[in-house]
């Protein structure tokens, strides 16, 4: 099967709508078909990967933990909009430390999250075959 470059744009926060969890489901499906998957987080979507989400008080599944599994599915390109973080008073240190093991580098653990400017994101998006927006 031909491999295409898929990008998933995540623009909503985690629990107010179903967009965030549905996106994550579809991302895992794409990975199962061994496609070249990358994720972008912008606008309120940056809240999806904020460290320290604790959902006991709202009775909803804390699916933020699932992001830690993405590395095992060879999904290791998570781009986060610098502008969106700054607007929300957040920085890279507020995000979950998501990593993957690089098989080309003796399985060394490397960060999956990369904070990029909107200009950089523009260039990354233009390389994609498919962009899916959530």
Q: Which residues bind other proteins (CB under 8 A)?
A: 12-16, 43-44, 47, 50-58, 60, 62, 64, 86-90, 94
CB nearer other proteins, residue 3 or residue 117: 117
Q: State the nearest-atom distance from the C-beta of 84 to other proteins, in Å.
A: 8
Q: State the nearest-atom distance from the C-beta of 9 to other proteins, in Å.
A: 15
Q: Could you tell me which residues come within 8 angstroms of residue 19 by beta carbon, excluding any fewer than 6 positions away? A: 10, 11, 12, 134
CB nearer other proteins, residue 83 or residue 101: 83
CB nearer other proteins, residue 16 or residue 97: 16
Q: State the nearest-atom distance from the C-beta of 35 to other proteins, in Å.
A: 29
CB nearer other proteins, residue 56 or residue 105: 56
The CA-based diameter of the chain, rounded to the nearest angstrom, is 45
Helix (H) or strand (E) holding 82: helix 82-87
Q: State the nearest-atom distance from the C-beta of 88 to other proteins, in Å.
A: 5
């Amino acid at each position: 099967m031909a491999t295409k470059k898929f990008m998933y744009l995540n623009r909503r926060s985690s629990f107010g709508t179903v967009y965030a969890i549905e996106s994550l489901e579809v991302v895992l499906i794409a990975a199962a078909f061994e496609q070249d998957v990358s994720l972008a987080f912008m606008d309120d979507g940056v809240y999806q990967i904020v460290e320290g989400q604790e959902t006991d008080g709202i009775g909803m599944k804390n699916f933020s933990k699932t992001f830690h599994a993405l590395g095992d599915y060879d999904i290791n390109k998570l781009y986060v909009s610098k502008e969106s973080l700054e607007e929300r008073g957040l920085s890279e240190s507020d995000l979950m430390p998501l990593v993957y093991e690089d098989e080309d580098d003796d399985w060394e653990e490397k960060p999956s999250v990369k904070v990029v400017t909107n200009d950089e994101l523009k260039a990354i998006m233009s390389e994609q075959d498919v962009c899916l927006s959530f």
